[in-house]
Amino acid sequence: MTDRSNTVATIRDNALWMRRKAFTMVYNKQLGHPGGDFSSIDVLATLFFGVMRFDPANPRKADRDRFVMSKGHATGALYTGLCKAGFYPEELLETYMGPGSRLNGHPNRQYLPGVEANTGPLGHGLPIATGIAIAGQIDGASYRTFVLTGDGELQEGSNWEAAMTAGHRHLSHLTVIVDRNRLQQGQGTEETSRLDPLPEKWQAFGWDVFEVDGHNHESLLDVLGAAPGDKPRCVIANTVKGKGVSFMENQAKWHHGVPDAEQFAQAMEELV
């Protein structure tokens, strides 16, 4: 196998492990947001195992690439990815959302290595990531900053203030990935507050825009691993909420649904 095919195989295997582990965590605690976990896991697996520079033994290393999980409720995806990347042992995942656990329902940088920002209130991640990218631009640093937002989250106006600032400052080392699963809590994004035409909105704010299948690891690797240009980059990742489990896919109720024993068993049979 070539180096690239090895990388894609590693991303695929780790994404499957993350799905199985994240769903187990949600089942055990009967808490979580598995639909959004599953729509975003392939993006995170590609970033952590194919694109980003970081050192789990030195998580605050100055030249590391930064990742901000703006859709901070999708902690199953984030915690399993950081664990698999080597930031903390797998045993810690068993404490997910338990009393006194470091693995809160929303990520906290004071508790866990690899977490760049406390997120959860939607609309905060992109402004934080924009500030990180501005600092890197001022310092002449080479690190890249990646931020994953939900599509429903883009209804928050703070995102567009940050987008305008990033476009104005030509923050070429900043990449936002939109988890475009078209569902949010309760119903579709277009029924709640229409986002389309979404690519043209980002372009109007001075961003280079790319659309990609958010579950195709090769396509994600191409677009996320490409060298920066002279503008910030927006990657619209077209995804499926609950991807990988038949009864969860494209179902708004699985935004924060939790499985019973029968559903858990079925999911484990399908996630192979």
CA neighbor of 179 nearest in space, from 141, 220, 208, 150: 150
Q: Give the residues across from 177 on adjacent strands.
A: 148, 235
1 has pLDDT over 80: no
User: pLDDT band at 2, cuts 50/70/90?
Assistant: confident
Q: What whole-number percentage of the chain has pLDDT above 70?
A: 100
Q: Give the residues across from 68 on adjacent strands.
A: 147
- What pLDDT is recorded for position 187? 92
d(CA 219, CA 6) in angstroms, rounded, equals 15
CA neighbor of 111 nearest in space, from 150, 38, 59: 59
Residue with tokens 């997120």: 119
- What pLDDT is recorded for position 186? 84
d(CA 18, CA 16) in angstroms, rounded, equals 5
Domains in the chain, CATH or no CATH each = 3-270 (3.40.50.970)
Per-residue HEC secondary structure of 46-87 comes to HHHHHHCCCCCCCCCCCCCCEEEECCCCCHHHHHHHHHHCCC
Q: Which amino acid is at 99?
A: P
- What pLDDT is recorded for position 183? 94
Q: What is the pTM of this model?
A: 0.97
